Structure 1
């Protein structure tokens, strides 16, 4: 369904049944949006269901404007995107590390001085990341900690791939500048 079809699906009076009717009508479109991000139909359905659960909470419904169909469509899409990102991160966390990455683990026999230096460097990096714009920090985290490509990050955050690459490049430059100022580079 396109945004021009909004008039074809008028929303009934406000209330929980409005949201239920809306999700029933928009379910295929919301699943397709989640599917683009997750590449797994089962996870996409879970993301839509999680978004439904979030939006159907009575505390959340108090603040929803169920009369405006366009606002509700946008809100549902944002909720599905957030649920998809949450599911994607949860899936990444429980995936086993492939053997080719095992050798990149720190040496457990490192000296206390080496461990202290590693902790100090990690703390400096966290401080430098905190100095970045939240979106830029998220892009770098997805890129380096989670191993996402620019295309995957663009789908997760709703940006263009070129914008992700540009923001990542600028964020790395700012991060380098901060680390140089702190004496780490």
Structure 2
């Protein structure tokens, strides 16, 4: 009698399967029941690793954002970092079906201390001389720009329409550059 080898379910395997399900069916069809079937487990096994679907989506969004942060390896200054981050975030959103939408609807991570999370997000720009509040506000503006752009880019009919009225692909870089160039200089906090 042949026996099956059961691979233990862990958070990495869960996320890998969730992204595979997202690619196959899109965000609207991502369900815990389908995910359990894909993993060949009962649905309660998933809940040992995540509280609910909202937490799973939050972890997936964190992974998408984390990839963008990791892709910015060297920056001359905070403006250069923001431009690189904007490009990396766009690539990260587009690497996954409904990636921008997932990040737009996911809830923030359940951090014990939001101040610690904010400091972690701001850290790359703090190292380049921006005070935390400016770092967070500038990142939020770039994320919002890229999120909106990527949502239009992933929407076939809207993308086609925009391509007919402007050079949609060619407009991303000038838009990102204009946004970043428009941020005023600020004195760093010592």
Whether TM-score is above 0.5 comes out as no
TM-score of the superposed pair, with normalisation by structure 2: 0.27
Q: Of Structure 1 and Structure 2, which has the larger fraction of its residues in helix?
A: 1
Larger radius of gyration: 1
TM-score by length of 1: 0.27
